[in-house]
Amino acid sequence: MHGSASTYITQREIAVLWSDIESDVVEGRYPLDKLVRSEGRCGWFETKFNDKPAIISLFESLNDEPTLLERLRAVEKVSDKNVAAIYEAGATKVRDTPLVYAVMEYTEENLEDVLRGRALSADETKEVADGLLKALKAIHKERLICGRLEAASVLAAGDTIKLRSDYLQLVPKDTAFEPNAAKDVRDLGSLLHQCLTQKPLKRATDANDPSLQLLPAPFVLIVRRTLSGQATVDEIATILRTGAAPAPAPMSAPAAVSAPVPTSGPASPPAQPKAVPTPVPKAEPVKTAVRSDEIMKKLLPEIEEPSPKRTGLIVGGVVVLLLLVGIVVRAMLHSGRAQDAQNPVVVVSPETTTPRKPPPAVPPVAAKPRAAAPNPVVSAATPAAAPSTSLAGTWRVVAFTYNFQGQAEHKAHTINEKHPDLEASVFSPKGSGAPYLVTLGSATDRASAFRLRDKAVGEGLPRDTYAQNYSH
């Protein structure tokens, strides 16, 4: 273990930040122009492909180069206007750092940037949903899944919605595909909710959440259906197109029709049933009448002669039931009085009730906080002000995220060599185990965290570096 770790560090000593390799050239033909975005081990740059604008995505290849290339080349086979095309994929080195690259179709913007400023209208959301449903159908044919369908994964080229393709995952043939595809559909529902409200769904949200009723049609039905975890791409497409859930499959035909299928007699069997029914109806009414009379004669004595014992039992049961109901009602009334005695403040005399005078009671409550500095706002209308004091010292600035501790520690070491003032270190939100976050500075308050984040971006760290509260 110690030997492999030291070998790993030696191989990665010359690792560089994405912003440091702007203006370099990949494979002698793909210039790394402007850094568009960076996220941990992946960086996006503007480049040229056949003298046309394109995007090149670079991945730090550690020990998973074959896996990266396999899935990128699977994406190359997808040909759909709603999936960002990959023109070429391969392995390379930049400043002695091993990388895997994918040259992709050029896109102008992503949905995450749009939603920071505003929510989408219902018509705009419908366009996003239509494009993504077509994209999901295309990638699922190649056993590819999104894995994490989010706003940053939705791109736009002109008026066309495109699914980001360089991060798609390939499901092995020995792994069940349907559960993974169903997760894509569930994530789509959360994304559509975010389009309309600027807020993704919480993990605990279920289809009965009353807040979903505020969504415009047909997205109420779509989001609720995706939350079931069993919806399919075709089903959601039908709801989007028609505004209603697909009709259930028709029931199969009665077995009685298919039962008489004797193949030995093609002509004679049909003729025989036609001759048989004519005499039978004449005899059937007589038989059924006789049977019904006999049955009624047997049943009438029991109905006409009720047993006195049964009558007594019925009356006794009713009396007992009424007594039980009375006891329950009495107990409920008694418990209600007990609760009123314990909470006398809730009881208001009708003589003193004045519907138009609640506002005068507010000024005394607002005046008390002036004596207590830590809680300047006590009004129930502004509960968000109270948590601000309790969050001090729990905010962290996150620059990179890794699944392996060794990678995170090496990245922190690299940052400290170039930017010692940022004090990079490794933090695990769970206390131990992945994910491992490369954080800057120490835990601090919210305002200080955002100041440090702006400083780090100004020094060349990724523009998607963020500050987050880790109080729980």
Residues of the chain with CATH 3.30.200.20: 10-105
Task: Convert the pLDDT of each residue in 325-384 to its tens digit.
Answer: 778 777 676 655 545 444 444 433 333 444 444 444 444 444 444 444 444 333 333 343
* C-alpha distance from residue 429 to each of 42, 100, 284 (Å): 22, 29, 81
End-to-end distance of the chain based on CA atoms, in angstroms? 33
Please answer whether residues 377 and 385 qualify as being in contact, where contact means their C-beta atoms are separated by less than 8 angstroms.
Answer: yes
DSSP state of 174: T
Global pTM reads: 0.52
**Segments of the chain assigned to CATH 1.10.510.10:** 109-242
- Secondary structure class of 458 (helix, strand, coil): helix
Helix (H) or strand (E) holding 441: strand 436-444
Fold classification of 390-469 (topology level): Alpha-Beta Plaits (3.30.70)
Instruction: Kindly give the residue spans of alpha helices, DSSP state H, lying in 305-370.
Output: 308-342, 362-367
Query: Quick check: 212 and 263 in contact, CB under 8 A?
Result: no
pLDDT in single tens digits along all 472 residues of the chain: 333 333 333 334 334 588 889 999 999 999 999 999 888 889 999 999 999 999 999 999 878 899 999 999 999 999 999 999 999 999 999 988 899 999 999 998 899 999 999 999 999 999 999 999 999 999 999 999 998 899 999 999 999 999 999 999 999 999 999 999 999 999 999 999 999 999 888 876 777 788 888 999 999 999 999 988 889 999 999 999 998 777 665 555 444 444 444 444 444 444 444 444 444 444 444 444 444 445 444 444 444 445 555 666 777 777 778 888 778 777 676 655 545 444 444 433 333 444 444 444 444 444 444 444 444 333 333 343 334 434 457 889 998 888 888 888 888 988 998 899 999 999 988 888 878 899 999 999 988 989 998 998 888 888 778 888 887 5
The per-residue pLDDT for 57 is 96
**Looking at the chain, which residues constitute the CATH 3.30.70.1070 domain(s)?**
390-469
Half-sphere exposure of 164 (CA within 13 A, CB side): 22
Residue among 423, 406, 422 at smallest CA distance from 460: 422
Instruction: Report yes or no: 234 and 191 within 8 Å, Cβ to Cβ.
Output: no
Distance CA 19, CA 14 (A): 14
> Which pLDDT value is given to residue 335?
56
Give domain 10-105's CATH superfamily.
Phosphorylase Kinase; domain 1 (3.30.200.20)
* CA 11 to chain CA mean position, Å: 38
Q: Which architecture, in CATH terms, is 109-242? A: Orthogonal Bundle (1.10)
- Per-residue b/e over 431-463, b at no fewer than 16 CB within 10 Å? eeeeebbbbbbebbeeebbeebbebbeeeebbe
